[in-house]
Amino acid sequence: MQKIAILIMLLFTGIQLPAQYYSSGADPANVKWRQINSETFKVVYPQEFEKEAKRFIGILDSLYTYGGYSLKHTPKPIKVLIHSRSAYSNGFVSWAPKRMEIYSTPHQDMIAQDWLTQLAIHEFRHVVQIDKLNTGFTKALTIPFGQQAIGAVLGLYAPLWFLEGDATLTETTLSQSGRGRRPAFEQEIRAQLLEKKAYHYDKAYFGSYKDYVPNHYHMGYLLTAGARYKYGSEVWEKALDEAGRNSWSITPFNRGIKSVTGKNKVPLYNEVFEDWKKRWQRQADTTRYTPFQQITQRDKRYKNYRYPTPLDNTYLLAEVEGPGELNHFVKINIQTGKEEKLLVTGSREREPFTYANRQLVWTELEQHPRWDNQNFTVLRALDLTTLKQRKIITRSRYKGPALSPDAQTIAAVHTSLNNTHSLHLLNTQTGALIKKITPPDNAYPLTPAWNEDGNQLVTVLITPQGKRLATFSLEHSKWSDVMPASFTEIRFPKFKDDYIYFTGSYNGIENIYRINWKGGRPERLTQSEFGAAFANFGPNNELYYQDYTSDGYLIVSTELKQLHPHRKIAEQLPVEPLINRLQEDEKGLPLLDSLNTSQYLSKKYSKWNLFNFHSWAPMYMNVNDAEVSTGASILSQNLLGTTFTSFGYNADKQFSREKFSFNLSYQAWWPVFDLDIKLGNETVEGMYLNETDFIIDSYDAKPNHALIDFEMKLPLNFTRGKYLRRLEPSIGLSYQLSSDIDYTRYYLALDDNGQPILEDGKYVVANYETRQYEGIDIKSVDYSLFAYNLLRTTQRDVASRWGQVVELNYQHTPFAGWNYGSLLGIHTRLYLPGFGRHHAIRVDNDWQSKEKGEANGQMSEYNRFRMYSDYIKFPRGIERFYNDQLYSFKGDYMMPLINPDLNIPGLMYLKRITANLFYDYSKAQQKLQVAETGEWIKQSAEVSSLGLELRGELHPFRFVFPITVGYRYAYLPDSEKNYHELLLSMGVSGLVIGK
């Protein structure tokens, strides 16, 4: 019954669910949108992308009867939004509202397949998976709840490993490429199983802070492929069908698996990965490995050393990344392995850096300050002599840069806004375009490299026939094929003397190969246990490359002359018979190349398509304020992600002032506009005796009430390099209004002693009059400036280890109406590195000052004034009290305490326990006015607390989102009291499924 309770909670709370209420952000305001419609798809795209948009909808239409064949389902129509202005490469499917979003610019770590084709197959499979859930009990839930019902069932029952693994399997079985054919995609789990052990199911699914665990894409592909190979496609078809039809039950997905395999998912996981281990062990037992010299040492915390690049006989460069590492460049002593950190990079896609003549050049992704869906690439350079960094080009779409031997020219891959690919030769100093090189048939180039004379380039070209190795002569402006196209994975070509060295996957494990640049047969040079990649060369003909282990890539070297080239190349990958068997479950291979798109007509798509009502509920749900009660709600989010709307009716009598609500957020322009309106009435009734003035006020009214909040803010993202940076000024207007109240005032009859006269237990009324009580009239203005500069965090950090946060806030009531005075508040936060790895220190210094508003009666012997509530918080464990000025200090030392990976199967998986030592202090001052004399009295108070917080991050009942359960103890030295508090939070974000 636990999961039923969680399902109800997800449906009724309005928190962000898997693929629900998720927004990827807005595209630039100047985009002119077009649309193409077919019977099953609506594709919306920037107008310059029209030719490729027609090709993309043609691919989707061709896939339509193929993509769901093995799941026995054909989905309903869906909308597609293409973000072609972004240099970021990805795609996702979201439900509530239901749509597919595509980031169409290809990247440099691609398989032997066109990027749009891979996206179409993978993302359409997600559409099939989710739409198949819309049956049985789940379909019945959509009547009262709309699309969010499917999103809740998806998050509760369909594991992420299945969703992504099955989509990756489909991109493999419906094409001649796909990540399932790439040995590097399986090498992480292969190495783990052969060198260490198979982790239990919960650890393999939810990850670990102690050990490196391959992600759910890798786990999911091997599990879905292995189970389907052994039991047929029915295993996953039944699992999804059960999850949709019987989502009221406890474990429908599991029951569907068992109906076919006779096993629950955990025993199935164990069986499948034991099969993979045996398969890989057989191959390992018959392989003789290449001896090498190890340059870097294994790190049990897992660390990848990539792209070894020799500087001289003593040092080489590499890029380092891992779950506990900020991505950075290092200089490594070849003899000792000692590392010197050179630079922490910003956000990077998986592609090599380039080096020549003391210059190191690489690309980073940078977002437009305002538009989330406009990302650029930036070419950066580091001078190794001076260690000064500079930008060569900003706001570009360049990828895969390669420095010429003299470091005067950069060859980089460029993709235009209409998806035309080319190689650009750029001046290293200025970034100016020297020459544009057009590949044949708009093939996409991968990781170009120069020959030693600087007059030829070599690159891998992605074509409809697969990947092919090609050179371009700058002297003759001519392309030449070195190796014909095939779907076997090849990457990272490098010139050396008469050969081109590259990474190939011919025997099912990546190794270093070479081929004469004039053509011929490739030769295998290395035999790695798990994967060798990225060949490079030292001054004395040493071969350097990255070799994979279960603790990450290590840098190794060997002498070229000691290698024995092998010309015998496997005719097919060892995994190909398995894939051939799985392809028998499919309808066939769809024809996705050379499509006729002439039948597709485009038309304008208006930016003013503002409403798309996707979900509703017989409950009042206010997502912004986290309020849930009886009532009704309806939610809207338009396709462009620029307008979010909700309507609600709150039937809870305790919220009668807020009976009706309307929320609108418009994000299409530079400023974001948020409007929140709440309307209702309030029952005011009863008789109140004033024993001093001997009057009785009698109320019987229902005044109307309105609360209108309007905010205009400018969210600016200046994230650059290793720092996350944001600046957000805002101004808000709040208007709270209620109608006047008519009430009756009764004046009591008094006796000769001036006391009220009682007759039969009731007061005698001398006379009465009708009076009016002034309704609420508050017009408040709020000015705010929020900014932060934070060092990026690693997966294992508990908080940023360096950074600053500041917020300024000023509120006042400058217009006619009730006067609440003003409030000025300042919040500052400083992050510092702790003493241990992944430890952090957080220091808050906050201050606020209030000006009193108009007098509002008396409180005891003092006058009472209208005032704003506190902007900053008191120490933990201390209840707030009235103040005019408040200073607050909070100091925290945060650290990971233990990573137990404690598992009680099916009940709880505890990943990490963190500790937080804290000390809080506040000093408050207040001015009080004596009502009788008008004299002002000053008071001050100092309070503090210190204590400990313990938090455990866990997954209960295999719930996809981590839940944090904690305990807070505080000692209050001023009162010598102890304070205890339970802490609970859920790590819920707008989870989507995609690439």
Where residue 21 falls among pLDDT bands split at 50, 70, 90?
A: low
pLDDT the model gives residue 626 = 66
Where residue 16 falls among pLDDT bands split at 50, 70, 90?
A: very low
pLDDT, one tens digit per residue, over 185-198 is 999 999 999 999 99
Where residue 17 falls among pLDDT bands split at 50, 70, 90?
A: very low
**Residues 871, 19: Cα–Cα separation, whole Å:** 34
**Residues 381, 353: Cα–Cα separation, whole Å:** 10
Helix (H, G, I), strand (E, B) or coil at 551: coil
Q: Note whether 576 and 536 are within 8 A (CB).
A: no
Where residue 14 falls among pLDDT bands split at 50, 70, 90?
A: very low
Q: Which of 76, 81, 73, 85 is nearest to 22 (CA)?
A: 81
Mean pLDDT calculated for residue range 963-992: 87
Report the first-to-last Cα separation within the chain, whole angstroms. Answer: 33
> Between the CA of residue 661 and those of 25, 114, 643, what are the distances in Å?
24, 48, 17
Where residue 523 falls among pLDDT bands split at 50, 70, 90?
A: very high
> How high does pLDDT run on average in the chain?
94
Backbone angles phi, psi at 10, to 5 degrees: -65, -40
- Share of residues in the chain with pLDDT > 90 (%): 88
pLDDT, one tens digit per residue, over 290-315 is 999 999 999 999 999 999 999 999 99
pLDDT the model gives residue 995 = 53
In the numeric block, the tokens 């940023």 are attached to 800
Question: Does 922 score more than 90 pLDDT?
Answer: yes
Tell me the two tokens of residue 5: 């309770």
pLDDT the model gives residue 848 = 98
Mean pLDDT calculated for residue range 260-281: 97
Task: Give me the sign of the Cα torsion angle 359, 360, 361, 364.
Answer: negative
pLDDT, one tens digit per residue, over 716-736 is 999 999 999 999 999 999 999
pTM over 0.85: yes
Mean pLDDT calculated for residue range 431-443: 97
pLDDT the model gives residue 18 = 34
pLDDT, one tens digit per residue, over 81-115 is 999 999 999 999 998 899 999 999 999 999 999 99
pLDDT, one tens digit per residue, over 790-846 is 999 999 999 999 999 999 999 999 999 999 999 999 999 999 999 999 999 999 999
pLDDT the model gives residue 571 = 76
Question: Does 7 score more than 60 pLDDT?
Answer: no
Question: Does 413 score more than 70 pLDDT?
Answer: yes
Cα torsion through 583, 584, 585, 587, rounded to 10? 80
Q: Which of 422, 425, 430, 491 is nearest to 455 (CA)?
A: 425
Task: Give me the sign of the Cα torsion angle 54, 59, 64, 68.
Answer: negative
Question: Does 5 score more than 70 pLDDT?
Answer: no
Tell me the two tokens of residue 90: 């990805």
Count the alpha carbons within 13 Å of 377 in the hemisphere toward its beta carbon.
26
Tell me the two tokens of residue 885: 């000025």
Mean pLDDT calculated for residue range 859-871: 93
pLDDT, one tens digit per residue, over 524-542 is 999 999 999 999 999 999 9
Mean pLDDT calculated for residue range 401-405: 98
Q: Which of 383, 486, 377 is nearest to 424 (CA)?
A: 377
pLDDT the model gives residue 990 = 44
Q: Which of 44, 74, 67 is nearest to 56 (CA)?
A: 44
